[in-house]
Each structure stands twice: as C-alpha cells, then as structure tokens.
Chains A and B, each alone.
Chain A
C-alpha cells in the first residue's frame, strides 16, 4: 500500500463570481521514501496540490489518504494535528523566524510534538549537525547565508521526523553550488531516513535527484515518470 494515495481529487476557487478549476480528478500515489519532483507552468496547480498534501487546504471532492489517514474530511483542528505529526514544510524563502536562533527555530517546530526540554534540545542539535550547521546553532537567521538558512529550514522540517516533507522551490533562492549542496543533502536524508519528499520546482536540473517526476498541466498529471 502506498504512503500517499490521492483519488479523484478536485479543487477550484471562485473569484469575482467565476469558478476556476485548479485540480481535476487528480490521482496520485507515492511510496514511503520516494522523492517526487512536481513540475509545471504557473497556474498548473502545483501549490494547490502541495497545500492539499500538507493539510493546509482541503479538496472540494475526492480522497486524500496519507499514512493510512483520509484527511479530505478533516476539520481545521484535525488538520492542524495532522500537520503537527506527519508533515514538514520547506519554503523557497526559508521563512525562518528572524527573532529566533537557528537552534531555536528547530526547537520551535519540535515543541509542537514534544514537551521534554532536554529531548527537544538534543533533537534540534542532532538535526542541525545532520545538515552541517553544528557551529551555527546560536546564530540568528540574518547571520547566516542563504544556503545555511535553507539548511536550518530543512533541519526544522526534519526534526519532527515527519512521514512526508513538502518543499516548494527549495533551491529557488540559491546559486548553483548551493543548489547542488541542498539537493544532495535532501537526497541523503531521503535515503537514510526513508522520508517521502514532494518537491515543487521549475528547475529542470533537479530532475536528476528525483525517483519520479510529475508534470502538472491544467489540473491533471500530464507526465508521470522517472
């Protein structure tokens, strides 16, 4: 059984009295430990798909089964709980909290699932070491480079040990060398920890890291392959 199963998922938005369909009868499966790269032009539904996978948005119809839970009918409270336990996010602009240090940013995420301060501190340190930032733990985001900030964001997403990680243009704000470094890091984590990655990107150079590449267009998957 797949870790992620989307069946006939539909989603649209009304604007100015006009309804626009974004996802149409979308079907998608992803296995544990798989890295999927989702590509597609603007407006193809990539972000909407990520929002639905992450429990940020709900589909109009269809089922969204993740790790044995159908979250399509969840209310906001249960969706919050779902995100807390099973999802990690990585954003293009890192979205670190500027008033917290690198370690505190990771701890911020851990505090949603763990109460013990010592465990929180130990796990935050562990994941920052894992992303190679053991010497930057007490630095504030403004004291870090773009690549280092994205590593903190990855550590923050990983620390909760979620079942899936959703990354929206994770290298979109980085230069070539840092892009390679970040993707290598995520690939290693995928292999070591068996976490399923969904990565949205416009960058075709990242295809080489994917187990599978999906091309979205007009709300449906127009290409699904390695």
Chain B
C-alpha cells in the first residue's frame, strides 16, 4: 500500500484501468481545485436545475391540467346569464341538442350571490343550485369529506374555506338577495370550476380571497326569492360538453335571441375559464420564464468557468510544454483538459436533473395551496433532462472554447518558456496615503483584461439580481397606477339585469344627494374577433365610464363611441387604433372601431358606451362615486337592503385585496433578488479566489516584511472596492436590459406591465451590488491572513 497516496481518483483509476494518464492527471487536478470546481458545478447545476424545472414543471402542469379536465368532465363552455330564464324551456332545448349530438352532456344551474357571516365578518358567497351535485358526467365535484347528496337545507362546501368556519357539520349563515338562509354543510368537495381556492371569477372581475362557494340542490335555491319575488323553476347558468362548441353556441344563441327578454351572458369557453387559464399560465410561466432565467445564470457560470479554466491552462503552461516535448499533440492535450469541462458538465447535468425534479415538487406544494385539490401528475418525460444536459455541456464547452483555442495555438517552446504574470500593467496613479492603498489601487489594474473579465462576470451577476428588483418595482408601480385609476367608491352588481334609467339613488337605496356620480354598466365576458383572430374579452359598456375611471392611454384617445381595448388584447388580436373588432353578444354581433389602446390591469378589457350594445338600456351593475356625507361602509349597509344587488365591492377593499396579491408576488421577486445577490457574491468570491491564489508570494513577502495580518486587508479591500464599482457600473444597465427582456416574456406569457425606471431600483441595485461584491473580499482577506509564509517563501525561492 503506497503511503499517503490513496484517494478517490486513484480508486477511479483502478476501477477504470483504461483511463489514460493524461485524463487522469486532469481529473486529479479537478480534485485539487475541488472547492472551485464544486462551486462552479453547483452554480451550473442550479442553472440547469432551473432550466429543467421550467421544462419539466410545464409538462407537469400540462399533464395535470389535462388529467384534471378529463377526470372531472370539465365543461367545454360555461354560460352565465344576467337574467333568469325558464328552466323547462332551456332544458328541452338542451335535451334536443343532446339527442341530435350537438352536445354530449349539460348542466343547468341557478347561481345566487350574496354574503356569508363568519365570526362577525362578512365574506362574499356564491351558492350554486344543481339538479344533481353528485353527477359525474359533467363538471364533477370530487368528494373530499362527507356526502355529495345534500338534502333540503343542506349544502356542499368547496374545499378551502375551512378556516372561515365552513367545515363538515357546520351551518353556513348566508344572506342571498336580502334573505337570511342557513345551510348545513354535509359534504366538502372540490370543483375544478373553483379550483383556485378562495379565488373566483365574478362578473368578469377576479375577487381574491375568502369567497364561500356552496353547492346545493337546484330546488332548494329555486325556493328562495329574488328581488322580492319567488324564483320558481328558473335558472341563470349552464354548462355543456360538446365536440363542436361553436356549433352548439350558434344553436343556443338562436334560442336565447327568441326569448321575450334577451339575456346578456358571460360565455366562457373551457380554454378561457379562469381555472384553466390560471393553470395553463402556470405551465407557460414554467416553460418560458424559468429557462430564460436559467440562461442568465448559465451565462454567469460560463464566465466563471472561462476565467478559472483560462487561468488553469495558463498556470499549467509548463506542464503542457512537457507533454508536448513527450510527443503529445495539441489536440490530445486539449482533449485531456476537456476532462475539466466533462466533470463540471456531468455534475451539472446530474445534479441539475435531480434539483429540477426536487424544485418542481417543492413548488407544486406551494401551487397546491392555490389549486386546492388538484392532483399533480408527474409524467415520465425525458426531454427536459436531455435538454438540461445538452445545455449544460454546451455552455461549459462554449466557456472553454477561448482557452482551448489559445492552447491549440501554443507551441512547445512558448509553453515551456511561459513566465506567469511577468507582463503586468502598472498605472502611474497614486490613490491613498499609504503604500498598501497604492498597491491595492494598482493591483486592481495590473492585468487589465483579467480585471475587465472579473468586472463583467460580477457585473452580470449583479445585473441578473437587479433585474428582479426592476421587475418587482415595475409591476408594483404599474399596479399602483392602475389601482389609483378608478375614481369610484363602490361597485355593485345586480342579480337580474335592469333598465339603465332605473339605476338611481332611490333604486339603490342610498340617501338622496349622497352620490356624486352613478355610472350604470353592463359587463360580460365574450369572444371578440378581428380578422382571423379570436380572443376572449371582458366587455364593460357604460354610460359615462370616463367619469369614474382615468384611462392610461398608450395610443389613440379616450373616445368611448368606439372601443378602448387593453394592450394585451390588442397584441393578441394583432390590431391597433383604427382597426375594427366584432363582439359577440347572445343572438347578435356588433362591430366597433378601436379608438384607443389602454394599459389595464384587466388584460383583455374592452370599454365602450352602453349605447353601442344591441340592447342599449339594460345594465347589470353600477359604479358609484359617493359625496362627502356618506362613507363607503355606510353605503354598503344601505345597498345590502336591495334584494337585486348581489355583490358590493368597495374600492378600498378591492385594492387592498389586489395589493395583498401583488405583495405576495413581490415577496417572490425580492426573494429572487436576494438569491441572485448571493449568487453574485459566490461569483465574486470564485473569481477573486483565483486572484488571491496567484498572489500568494506577494502576500508572503508582505508578511515577511512585517505587515500585520489585519493590514493585509487594506490593499485587498481597495482592490475589491474598485472591482465592485466597475461591476456595478456594468451591472446597473445590465439589470435594466435583463429586466426589459424578462418583462417582455412576462407580457407574452403572464401579464402586461411596462418597465419602470425608478430611483428605488437604481439606488438599491447600486447599494446591494456594492455590498454583495465587497462581502466577497472576505475570501482573499482570509486567504492572505492564513498563508504559511515560511512554506511559500521556501518553495518559491528554491532552485
């Protein structure tokens, strides 16, 4: 047994007897540089992990959404009407359509909105009457607890409101259309329609948080009164499954148009249903944003590899010369050094694949909180991992190209004669009072190319970190602007559509003279067509909408005689100001010219005058601007007395809820910022470690001259400060460039918001960029303090 020579590489060598000595020498060199190799491998593995997680997470989401839709027979189309229609007539129509094969299954519903009392707090409630809540042929409710067959006075609660008291065996005290109703909870279920627990789409607006969703027997809900009259055998919502939803919609439109009072409707195809779009948005976010982020990380990792590898090849010059003198060709030596990249690429691929799966599973736990009882499926797919490995090796090889090219051009004589750091650039400037400070300043520029490369590597890392800050700040600025654009105090939605002229203080139940403006509107969700493109849109048609809303015009003018459409919708339809859009309204269509493109938090919003609708006198809601004598809270109490008002939204509360959501998103962005800041620190530490290692002899000389340990820090801090300033100068514009790039993808995939150049982002990026980089100075300082002066002087001066 050789003394002190056994190690894992020797073991590998013995296990793989064909391993050539040249490759073995490089593999062992990796071992000597293990901390640097481990650091870079981890950075690359993290990047590959994010890349893999992006692709694999998207596959998980897609597979899970498909499975969820299939397993629950999720309807192809939902239609929510703003009037009650006769159940028997609609049932007969749908039954005939089922018999002739236009649809394969359908569900009739009566939806009542109101509020639910829990521990003295009022929460919105959404009660859905179904003929058979346990029906599995369409829109299946998956039982979580108890029964799916409620009797009289009983209901099933959607999973997710347990913390608001809606548990099995409890009584839900509700106010629906002004009536007090108590329903016993006999079952807890999960409906895909409301899979985002606590979040539900109502009247085109997504109201976050704390909504009670209950399923009861249709007859139970029909026995209630609405606006003072018994409801009877009427419904206001339906859903169906069909192989040809467009044909089915066409047939139903004719039916609705034939009714004495044509109802307005939200027509929501499966792909546009909030549950599905939210779930698919999750998939797209994974698929596009994570790989893009990972590419930024990979670039930083590649720069670190380039720097380490270049120094490694330069430091090994003499040994390369020896190999050449033995008759090794440049190509053979290059292949030997590729072992370095092979180790990092392989470690990054394997670790990255494991990390990708682990991060995906970890994130799914978080997403499960949003998606309630959705069962996530982990599909067996290999391409994300193969792609991860390919991208890892590609970036590693790209990083090694320059040093390998230099190696290829090297002649044996040049290699044998190489003298490290003989040629350095010395600036004549003197910064600082002491020689130690002067040394620190000059050291920063002694090898300008290396200094620049270090600044670029750290600067890019700062740029990546800062981009998340800019992203967070931009979205926050946008949301604040948007939330401040509403000039109304209260929004009400009616259970049954009424005449616009009837909407006044008296009808609403508000004291005379208590309002400044009442702007009735009709809001509905439908499809909008322009040319050969179709998109689902939220249409709001009102009388004087501009009085209660400041539109942020991106192009065109605020002219509601035509249509104002949101930026994202304009992009989806590929249109601009002056183009025409056709809006489908049940039984008819209307064409409007686009007069303005607006920035809007509701990304597919269309605003127009009520007069443009075929039924220009009917509305299903109103914006109310209160006078000084009535508070929004008091107004709400008055409004609750109106039996036709089913939802009341106070501007402040609505904003607060949205701000809470935005704040949660911000926390994620800030977490990314700090995570990337730490990576910037690692990159800075990795690159300055190389510098520290190269200056061992100088540090030893300084110590031998009597410089104290703590004084050794001074030139290093000076040098690091210069590097930090340079890195921040590069990092700051990089952060905006990267953010612009990320925001572009966000606009395509998730939501629209413009980039904001705020002082906060600039100052914070500068301060934290300096902090993370300067913190890395601890590495060379510790190195300089700990060196064995005697050993280094002896080794470097002998011979």
Chain B residues with CB below 8 A from A105, complex form: 21
Interchain CB contact under 8 A, B326 and A99: no
CB distance from A44 to the nearest CB of B (A): 17
Interchain CB contact under 8 A, A100 and B21: yes
Interchain CB contact under 8 A, B18 and A54: no
Question: Which of A81, A83, A137 touches B325 (beta carbons < 8 Å)?
Answer: A83
CB-CB contacts below 8 Å: A96-137 with B: 97, 99-101, 104-105, 107-109, 111-113, 117, 137
| Interface: B4 (CB within 8 A) | yes
Contacts known (A51-B413, A56-B413); A100 close to B325, Cβ less than 8 A: no
| Interface: B744 (CB within 8 A) | no
| Interface: B329 (CB within 8 A) | yes
Contacts known (A80-B329, A84-B326, A108-B21); A101 close to B416, Cβ less than 8 A: no
Chain B residues with CB below 8 A from A92, complex form: 799
Question: Which of A54, A76, A107, A143 touches B3 (beta carbons < 8 Å)?
Answer: A143
Assembled-state Cα–Cα distance A149/B22 (Å) = 19
| Interface: B20 (CB within 8 A) | yes
Assembled-state Cα–Cα distance A156/B329 (Å) = 18
Chain A residues with CB below 8 A from B20, complex form: 111
Assembled-state Cα–Cα distance A104/B17 (Å) = 12
Contacts known (A101-B5, A109-B326, A117-B18); A95 close to B319, Cβ less than 8 A: yes
CB distance from A71 to the nearest CB of B (A): 13
User: What 1/0 mask marks residues of chain B from 317 to 332 whose CB sits below 8 Å from any chain A CB?
Assistant: 0110111111111000
| Interface: B24 (CB within 8 A) | yes
Q: Which of A84, A109, A143 has the most CB of B within 10 A?
A: A109
Question: Which of A84, A97, A137 touches B25 (beta carbons < 8 Å)?
Answer: A97
Report the interface size for chain B: residues with CB under 8 A from the other chain: 35
Interchain CB contact under 8 A, A56 and B412: yes
Interchain CB contact under 8 A, A108 and B17: no
Question: Which of B5, B9, B26 touches A138 (beta carbons < 8 Å)?
Answer: B5
Interchain CB contact under 8 A, B5 and A143: yes
| Interface: A8 (CB within 8 A) | no
Question: Which of A80, A112, A143 touches B4 (beta carbons < 8 Å)?
Answer: A143
| Interface: B100 (CB within 8 A) | no
Assembled-state Cα–Cα distance A89/B326 (Å) = 7
Contacts known (A56-B413, A138-B2, A139-B3); A111 close to B25, Cβ less than 8 A: no
| Interface: A209 (CB within 8 A) | no
Interchain CB contact under 8 A, B22 and A93: no
User: What 1/0 mask marks residues of chain B from 18 to 38 whose CB sits below 8 Å from any chain A CB?
Assistant: 101110111011011000000
User: What 1/0 mask marks residues of chain A from 56 to 100 whose CB sits below 8 Å from any chain B CB?
Assistant: 110000000000000000001100111111010101110101011
Assembled-state Cα–Cα distance A101/B326 (Å) = 17
Chain A residues with CB below 8 A from B29, complex form: 99
Report the interface size for chain A: residues with CB under 8 A from the other chain: 40
Residue in chain B with minimal CB distance to A166 = B325
Interchain CB contact under 8 A, B325 and A89: yes
CB distance from A91 to the nearest CB of B (A): 7
Question: Which of B10, B17, B327, B799 touches A80 (beta carbons < 8 Å)?
Answer: B327
CB distance from B313 to the nearest CB of A (A): 15
Assembled-state Cα–Cα distance A143/B2 (Å) = 10
Question: Which of A57, A93, A100, A138 touches B24 (beta carbons < 8 Å)?
Answer: A100
Interchain CB contact under 8 A, A76 and B319: no
Interchain CB contact under 8 A, A113 and B18: no
Interchain CB contact under 8 A, B799 and A83: no
Assembled-state Cα–Cα distance A105/B5 (Å) = 14
| Interface: B411 (CB within 8 A) | yes
Assembled-state Cα–Cα distance A137/B17 (Å) = 16
Residue in chain B with minimal CB distance to A101 = B5
CB distance from A119 to the nearest CB of B (A): 13
Chain A residues with CB below 8 A from B326, complex form: 83-84, 89, 108-109, 112, 156, 160
Assembled-state Cα–Cα distance A181/B4 (Å) = 27
Chain A residues with CB below 8 A from B21, complex form: 100, 104-105, 107-108, 111
Residue in chain A with minimal CB distance to B326 = A109
Chain A residues with CB below 8 A from B799, complex form: 92-93, 172-173
Question: Which of B18, B24, B322 touches A104 (beta carbons < 8 Å)?
Answer: B24
Assembled-state Cα–Cα distance A17/B21 (Å) = 42
Question: Which of A51, A57, A83, A172 touches B327 (beta carbons < 8 Å)?
Answer: A83
Chain A residues with CB below 8 A from B17, complex form: 117
Assembled-state Cα–Cα distance A80/B329 (Å) = 6
Assembled-state Cα–Cα distance A214/B416 (Å) = 24
Interchain CB contact under 8 A, A99 and B32: yes
Q: Which of A81, A93, A111 has the most CB of B within 10 A?
A: A111
Interchain CB contact under 8 A, A97 and B2: no
Chain B residues with CB below 8 A from A97, complex form: 25, 319, 322
Chain B residues with CB below 8 A from A99, complex form: 9, 24-26, 28-29, 31-32
Chain A residues with CB below 8 A from B5, complex form: 101, 138-140, 143
Contacts known (A139-B5, A143-B5); A112 close to B413, Cβ less than 8 A: no
Assembled-state Cα–Cα distance A137/B799 (Å) = 25
Chain A residues with CB below 8 A from B323, complex form: 108
Chain A residues with CB below 8 A from B329, complex form: 77, 80
Chain A residues with CB below 8 A from B31, complex form: 99
Assembled-state Cα–Cα distance A76/B412 (Å) = 10
Chain B residues with CB below 8 A from A56, complex form: 324-325, 411-413, 416
Assembled-state Cα–Cα distance A113/B9 (Å) = 24
CB distance from A167 to the nearest CB of B (A): 12
User: What 1/0 mask marks residues of chain B from 369 to 400 whose CB sits below 8 Å from any chain A CB?
Assistant: 00000000000000000000000000000000
Assembled-state Cα–Cα distance A202/B413 (Å) = 21
CB distance from B12 to the nearest CB of A (A): 13
CB distance from B663 to the nearest CB of A (A): 54
Interchain CB contact under 8 A, A54 and B411: no
Question: Which of B4, B25, B28, B412 touches A108 (beta carbons < 8 Å)?
Answer: B25
Assembled-state Cα–Cα distance A81/B330 (Å) = 12
Chain B residues with CB below 8 A from A112, complex form: 326-328
Chain A residues with CB below 8 A from B4, complex form: 143
Interchain CB contact under 8 A, A54 and B325: yes
Interchain CB contact under 8 A, A81 and B327: yes
12 of the cross-chain contacts (CB-CB < 8 Å) are A80-B329, A83-B325, A84-B326, A85-B327, A89-B325, A99-B31, A100-B21, A109-B326, A139-B2, A139-B3, A156-B326, A160-B327
Which A positions have Cβ atoms within 8 angstroms of B? 51, 54, 56-57, 76-77, 80-85, 87, 89, 91-93, 95, 97, 99-101, 104-105, 107-109, 111-113, 117, 137-140, 143, 156, 160, 172-173
Q: A57-B412, A84-B326 are in contact. List 4 more A-B contacts (CB 8 A).
A: A56-B325, A95-B319, A100-B21, A101-B5
The 9 closest A-B pairs by CB, nearest first: A84-B327, A138-B2, A99-B28, A108-B21, A83-B327, A56-B412, A95-B322, A89-B325, A112-B327
